Amino acid sequence: MSAGDQGGSTGPLSREQVLDELEFLATVEHALVVECLSVHCALGHDLTAAQGGAATQQGSDAAAVAASLAQGQMFHLKGINTALLNAERSAQLERRAASISSATVAEIPLDPPSLAQLQQLLTREEGIARAVDERYARLVPAVTTDPAFDGALLDQLRSVIVDDGQSHTAGFAGFRQSLGDLAPADVLRATRRDAVDDFEQRLLDASDRAYRLTVEILGHQFTPQDDDVVPFRPMAIEAMTGLDDITFVLVQRGLLPPVHAHLSACPRTRRAAPGPVITRSAMRPVSDGRARPRHLRAAAVRRHGRAWPASVRGAQPVGQEPADPSQRRALAHHRRRHQYRRPDRPHPPRDFHL
């Protein structure tokens, strides 16, 4: 079901109809993450008034509530995608919904809000929250009175649809309360989306790249064969921290992050994974006791034009240090000089921890 495809049937929804709608709602939750973060930035991020942040306590409180709502949408998005994978559907992370509507709410665009939309923020956010909650409400019978699922998947979907799905209106009420009697136009701090010089354009481009990188890394968490080889969660945290640092500077200059929706259209799924699944058991250990997939080791050779030095390669059984002291020194020198020198190596450095 798309943004405008709701309310067309009065009978019970089938399993496939529920999952189709959840795939769409996942893209809506992604758009809501961007929406809430845009509002958080427009209200001054977490900067002080001297740095360009909120000039009033109400504006600061509203910015904090918007950040909290964005984090809540992230958890909603994760919950939906996890349930979709368990139902043998594709995770929807790279895509963002273009609009949202419901039986009582006309279609609302979900592009990052413009200045005019930010000035009418309360009306916009109230409509979005109502539309999303109504879309979830249509799915409630399929996990309660007329279940289309069973077992653990039913429990999981009940949590996604009943417990979390219809919380958007209540979240918006908290945001409205934080503003008090102030109009949104009175507390806006960052509203520009266009650069005035090359430096600002570089900042916007860097923010856009960091956003795409963050989404791509998060997507690998929903691909089990990927996450089994490399722990992507700490990488995602680092990427999000970098994105937040860039956003901090943007807001100081009165700019909003671009967050363009031009991401990869390749879904993350448990089914039909491309190529062979490579797990830790299928990896060949290297001489420092770590495991590295054969295809990544070969890619490193192609990229850098060398593997282990000839004096060491093949001189000892796999997984053991060479017995000869000169070979151990050569191997140690090679590790220091080549193996961990670049951040784009196919495996993390020695001190990389979860």
pLDDT digits (tens, 9 = 90+) for 117-162: 999 999 999 999 999 999 999 999 999 999 999 999 999 999 999 9
Q: In the prediction, which pLDDT does 218 show? A: 87
Whole-structure pTM value: 0.72
Question: Domain end: 192, 211, 241, which one?
Answer: 192
Average pLDDT, whole number, for the chain? Answer: 79
| Cα–Cα separations (whole angstroms), residue 61 to 102, 157, 198 | 30, 33, 33
Whose tokens are 């450095």? That residue is 349
Boundary-marking domain end, from 192, 219, 251:
192
Would 185 be classed as within a structural domain?
Answer: yes
**Residue 111, pLDDT above cutoff 90:** yes
Distances (CA, A) of 248 to 11, 23, 59, 318: 49, 32, 17, 48
Judgement on whether residues 182 and 49 belong to the same structural domain of the protein: yes
**Same domain as 172, residue 56:** yes
Boundary-marking domain end, from 139, 174, 192: 192
Assign residue 75 the CATH number of its domain: 1.20.1260.10
Asked if residue 310 has pLDDT above 50, the reply is: no
pLDDT digits (tens, 9 = 90+) for 55-84: 999 999 999 999 999 999 999 999 999 999
Do 187 and 54 contact (CB within 8 A), yes or no?
A: yes
* pLDDT tens readout for residues 88-104: 998 898 889 999 999 99
Residue 235 is predicted with a pLDDT of: 87
The answer to whether the CB of 55 falls within 8 A of the CB of 49 is yes
Q: What whole-number distance in Å separates Cα of residue 171 and Cα of residue 192?
A: 26
Q: How confident is the model at residue 268 (pLDDT cuts 50, 70, 90)?
A: very low
Q: What single-letter amino acid sits at 29?
A: E
Residue 344 lies in a domain: no
Count Cβ neighbours within 10 Å for each residue of 320-343 and write b for 16 or more, e otherwise: eebeeeebeebbeebbeebbeeee
Can you tell me whether residue 137 is helix, strand or coil?
A: helix
Helix (H) or strand (E) holding 285: strand 284-285
Residue-level pLDDT at 259: 87
What is the domain extent for residue 36? 15-192
In whole angstroms, how large is the CA radius of gyration of the chain? 24
